[in-house]
Amino acid sequence: MSLWDEPELVNLSKNGDSKAYRQLVERNMKQAYNLAYRYVGNHDDAQDVAQDAFVRAYRSLKYFRGDAGFSTWLYRIVTNVALNRVKQLQRITKHESPITETTEMLMGHEPTVMRGFDTSAHIERALHELPTLQRAVVILRHLNGLSTKQVSNILRCSEGTVKTHLHRGIKKLQLKLKFLEEEQV
Amino acid sequence: MNEHARAKAHLYEFVRNELPEEDRQRIERHIQSCNQCREEASTLSTFFQEVDKATIDWSAQQPEEYWNTFAYSVQARITKEEPAQATAIERFLEWLDSVITFRPRDIAIAGACCILLLAGLVAGKYFLQQEKPPSQQQAARQVVSPVDSEYIRLHEYFRRSRALLVGLANSGLEEGEPADMEAEQTISKSLIHEARQLKQQPLDSRSERLISDMEKILLKLANSEMSENSADLELIRDGIERGNLLYKVRRAEAAYNQPTVMFANYKEE
């Protein structure tokens, strides 16, 4: 079964082959979870978003035409589900920057022990302060390493828009994280 | 695009080493000679190194057992939720989810359009309410005729009829006395002709009845031999009086004098 390529697995899944769909899930679950985590910032929501995205993808498989790869299509669903979740969370916290697990992990730990997490927490926080579309572009393009074309497919916008948002997002992140460079100096 | 602008536009791809070799070399050459681009590339490169170093693979934070059961958990959710057949709306939303991406700007534009539309509807309703009395009169006007020229024509018809009726009432002839009514008869013929044309137009029932009553009088007047005796004139006067025609014609004339206001009152009465 593992020798099947992605389009074949998609076709088998469309015909109700649950084992084929499990293969698709196993191939993409870590990327989907990572992406979800970068949007929502904690394990519980990331797990829920990733699983929800796979369930929705399964139900919508009949609409999947295969123009883009399955993973690109899945990323679009993850992005939609995650951003909806973020909106819900923002409504609850009333526009406060959500406290991510990395921030929580910092509490009660020595800075030297959590050195890597410290910087990560600052990056995560700065990322969460970006406007939604800029955040989505930075996450997909920079952190997940997708191409401009793939990001434009996922976010349904032009490649020019992706480049603009990436440029602005990176600039804002640089400004927000400027103190990290100064600390190092 | 000059070399500087080209380098700036592709600086991200250059630093991330995503450019084809030829383009990379071209930008490299520019950067050697441009302090601004060199500095920017260096800053970006340092920043990305920091970010990459601190970027956590969140999936690696979970134990392997977690990933061994992840796909089964998804499958369990699918199986669990499958018996409850998705409604048409849910299926539509799922389909929408698979094709449309969350775009805050689009949502903001759509929201703004909805607000504008709503504001327009509210404003429109407000102004319509403000202008309600005139519009009712306008509706009443349209029952009779869609154009003002027809009001003017009706007004003219009733004005001439009134003048004729007043003339007949004041002629002062005694019974049996011959009368020269040639002018009145000519006017009668002209009014009969006009009445027939007016009856081709859509009229309110009251005006139509009045024009018919007038027509009988006018026909009698037009066909009488007044030069021999005035008996016919008495009959005509009697008809005018019994039908209260002079009063009715005066009212109609007044009503069509200012059609938008007075005719509404004329109709309501």
Per-residue confidence (pLDDT) for residue A106, from 0 to 100 = 46
Q: Is A156 left (phi over 0), alpha (psi -120 to 50) or beta?
A: left
Same structural domain for residues B251 and B205?
Answer: yes
Taking an 8 Å cut-off on Cβ atoms, the answer to whether B102 and A18 are in contact is no
Q: Is residue B12 part of a domain?
A: yes
Roughly what angle, to the nearest 10 degrees, separates helices B245-257 and B231-242?
Answer: 60
What's the average model confidence in pLDDT over A144-162?
Answer: 91
- CA nearest to B58 within chain A: A34
pLDDT score of A117:
57
Residue whose structure tokens are 């404003």: B123
Nearest CA in chain A to B46: A181
- Tell whether B70 is covered by a domain: no
Distance CA B154, CA B152 (A): 5
Which residues on chain A are in Cβ contact (under 8 Å) with B77? 51, 55
Is the domain of B114 the same as that of B223? Answer: no
The Cα A22–Cα B251 span in angstroms is 90
Give the number of C-alpha atoms closer than 13 A to the C-alpha of residue B9, restricted to the C-beta side. 11
Record: contact A56-B97, CB cut-off 8 A: yes
Q: Is residue B16 part of a domain?
A: yes
Number of domains in chain B: 3
Per the domain annotation, does B86 fall within a domain? Answer: no
Which of B75, B12, B79, B122 lies closest to A29 in space, CA to CA? B75
Q: Is the pLDDT of residue A65 over 90?
A: no
Same domain as B151, residue B139:
no
Q: What residues of chain B score a pLDDT lower than 70?
A: 1, 82-87, 97-105, 130-148, 172-179, 226-230, 258-269
Q: Residue B264: what pLDDT?
A: 46
**Residue A33 and residue B75: Cβ atoms within 8 Å?**
no
Cβ <8 Å between A155 and B103: yes
Interface check A173 vs B, CB under 8 A: yes
Query: Are B233 and B134 found together in one domain?
Result: no
The full 3-state SS of chain A, as one line of letters, equals: CCCCCHHHHHHHHHCCCHHHHHHHHHHHHHHHHHHHHHHHCCHHHHHHHHHHHHHHHHHCHHHCCCCCCHHHHHHHHHHHHHHHHHHHHHHHHCCCCCCCHHHHHHCCCCCCCCHHHHHHHHHHHHHHCCCHHHHHHHHHHHHCCCCHHHHHHHHCCCHHHHHHHHHHHHHHHHHHCHHHHHHHC
**Chain B within 8 Å of A43 (Cβ-Cβ)?**
yes
A14 in contact with B, Cβ within 8 Å: no
Chain A, nearest residue to B64 by Cα = A30
Percent of chain A predicted with pLDDT > 70: 82
Each residue's pLDDT tens digit, A93-105: 655 555 455 555 5
Instruction: State the alpha helices, DSSP H only, in chain B.
Output: 3-9, 11-15, 21-33, 35-54, 64-81, 88-99, 104-130, 132-144, 148-169, 182-198, 205-223, 231-242, 245-257, 259-268
* pLDDT at residue number B165: 87
Does residue B234 sit in the same domain as residue B259?
yes
Task: Report the distance separating Cα B100 and Cα B93, nearest Å.
Answer: 10
Residue B194: which residues within 8 A CB-CB, separation 6 or more?
B153, B157, B160
* C-beta atoms surrounding B56 within 10 Å: 19
Pair of tokens at residue B261: 């206001």
Nearest-by-CA chain B residue for A35:
B58
In a domain, B62, yes or no: no
Asked if B126 and B21 sit in the same domain, the reply is no
Rg (CA), chain A: 18
- With respect to residue B80, please indicate whether it lies within any of the assigned structural domains: no
pLDDT at B104: 63
**The domain boundary residue, chosen from B55, B74, B96:** B55
The mean predicted confidence, pLDDT, of chain A is 83
Closest partner residue to A51 among B77, B97, B100, by Cβ? B77
Residue B161 and residue B138 in one domain: no
Which long-range CB contacts under 8 A does A67-74 form with residues at least 24 apart?
A68/A150, A68/A153, A69/A6, A70/A6, A70/A7, A70/A9, A70/A10, A70/A24, A70/A28, A71/A6, A71/A28, A71/A31, A72/A146, A72/A150, A72/A153, A72/A154, A73/B98, A74/A28, A74/A32
- Sign of the Cα torsion B9, B13, B15, B19 reads negative
Do B116 and B164 fall within a single domain?
no
Please state, in angstroms and rounded to a whole number, the distance separating the CA atoms of residues A38 and A126: 12
- Residues 44-103 on A with a CB inside 8 Å of B are 46, 51, 54-60, 63-64, 73, 76-77, 79-81, 83-84, 102
Q: Which residues of B touch A63 (CB under 8 A)?
A: 95, 98-99
Q: What is the ipTM metric for this complex?
A: 0.79
Shortest CA distance from A173: residue in chain B: B47
Do A177 and B50 lie within an 8 Å CB cutoff?
A: yes
A38 near B CB under 8 A: yes
Whether B165 is covered by a domain: the verdict is yes
Bigger pLDDT: A148 vs B233:
A148
Contact A53, B73 (CB under 8 A): no
Q: Please report the pLDDT score of residue B232 as a whole number.
A: 75
pTM to 2 decimal places: 0.55
Q: Could you tell me which chain B residue has the CA closest to the CA of A137?
A: B103
Q: Where are the domains of chain A?
A: 1-98, 129-185
Do residues B132 and B155 share a domain?
no
Same domain, B135 and B183: no
Q: What pLDDT, on a 0 to 100 scale, did the predictor assign at position B143?
A: 47
Q: In the CATH scheme, what is the code of domain A1-98? A: 1.10.1740.10
B113-to-B106, B116, B119, B120 alpha-carbon distances in Å: 10, 5, 10, 10
- The answer to whether residue B97 neighbours chain A at the CB level (below 8 Å) is yes
Give the domain-ending residue among B82, B114, B143. Answer: B143
Report in angstroms the alpha-carbon separations of B185 from B158, B225, B227. 16, 10, 11
Residue reference for tokens 């990436």: A166
Domain that holds residue B129: 105-143
In this complex, which of B54, B67, B77 lies closest to A116 when CB atoms are compared? Answer: B54
CA separation for the pair B74, A50 (Å, rounded): 9
Q: Which fold has domain A129-185?
A: Arc Repressor Mutant, subunit A (1.10.10)
The predicted structure's pLDDT at residue A114: 45
CB contact A130 to B (< 8 Å): no
